[in-house]
Structure 1
Amino acid sequence: MTALNFSARFADAVARMEKRQTIRARGKRRPPRPGDPLQLYTGMRTVQCRKLAEVVCVSVEPIGLSCLTRTISMITGEGSWARWQSLDDDEMEALAKADGFSGSLEFFEWFQGNHGRSVSGYLIKW
Structure 2
Amino acid sequence: MVAYSFKTRFGPLIQSRAKTQTVRADRKRHARPGETLQLYTGMRTRSCRLLATATCAAVSPIRFDFDPAMTGRIEVHGVSTMHLADLDHFARSDGFEDWADLKRFWAREHPGLEAFEGVLIRWDSDSLVLP
Contact 1:21 1:124 in 2 (8 A): yes
Corresponding position: 1:125 with 2:122: yes
Contact 2:18 2:92 in 1 (8 A): no
Corresponding position: 1:15 with 2:15: yes
Q: Residues 18-37 of structure 1: matches in 2 within 5 Å? A: 18-27=18-27, 29-37=28-36
Question: Structure 2: 5+ residue runs without aligned partners?
Answer: 124-131
Letter in structure 2 aligned against 1:114 = E
Q: What is the TM-score with the length of structure 2 in the denominator?
A: 0.82
CA RMSD across the alignment: 1.3
Tell me the equivalent position of 1:86: 80
Shift of 1:16: 2.2
Letter in structure 2 aligned against 1:122 = V
Shift of 1:108: 1.4
Corresponding position: 1:59 with 2:53: no
Letter in structure 2 aligned against 1:55 = A
User: How many pairs align?
Assistant: 117
| Structure 1 CA distance for aligned equivalents of residues 41 and 115 of structure 2 | 24
Deviations 1:49-83 (A, max 9, x none): 100011110111111001224211112xxxxxxxx
Identity percentage over the alignment? 36
Q: What is the TM-score with the length of structure 1 in the denominator?
A: 0.85
| Structure 1 CA distance for aligned equivalents of residues 36 and 103 of structure 2 | 29
Contact 1:60 1:125 in 2 (8 A): yes
Contact 1:43 1:50 in 2 (8 A): yes
